[in-house]
Amino acid sequence: GNPETTTGGNALKFYASQRLDIRKMTSLKSGQDVTGFRTKVKVVKNKLAPPFREAEFDIIFGEGISREGDVLDLAAEHGILEKSGAWYSYKGDRIGQGRDNARVFLKENRDIMKQMEDEIRAKLGMKTVEAQEEE
């Protein structure tokens, strides 16, 4: 079985509505400095929604979960971004070599990130940010 135990007796296992297994995958570095971590989260128990889902995302120190990293991952996953080798390209333009450089590019170019986000939302059948704000 699982070698990791939850301290505090058996009550926590039964009464908790949600339990998450959070693991650090890799360190995100800027030169020699560690700026954050790539994190993997597994839903171990969920009484409120379907359990056993998994997610991967970046946690940047002093910022929290990286929105740019999420947009990058979703855009690559749904074919909005092309990834050849280490290079990321959007509509024929190279935006960065390596995931970190592409993430920094999106952070500096909010308009391009917003376009990408709208394309992802359209592809997934979700409303754009403007449509949500109008409601």
Length of the chain: 135
Q: Give the SS3 label for residue 77.
A: helix
Other CB atoms within 10 A of residue 48 CB: 7
Range list for CATH 3.30.250.10 in the chain: 66-135
The CATH classification number of 66-135 equals 3.30.250.10
Q: Which two tokens stand for residue 61?
A: 């120190």
Distances in whole angstroms, Cα of residue 66 to Cα of each of 7, 70, 76: 30, 6, 16
The string of pLDDT tens digits covering residues 35-88 is 899 999 999 999 999 989 999 999 999 999 999 999 999 998 888 898 888 888
- Considering only residues 1 and 34, tell me which one the structure prediction assigns the higher pLDDT: 34
* pLDDT on residue 92: 84
- The pLDDT of 91-108, averaged and rounded, is 87
Mean pLDDT, the chain, as a whole number?
A: 87
Q: What percent of the chain has pLDDT over 70?
A: 96
Average pLDDT over residues 15-29: 90
- Which H/E stretch holds residue 67? helix 67-77
Q: Is the pLDDT of residue 1 over 90?
A: no
> Residues 86-107: what's their mean pLDDT?
88
Q: From CA 96, how far away is CA 27, in angstroms rounded?
A: 19
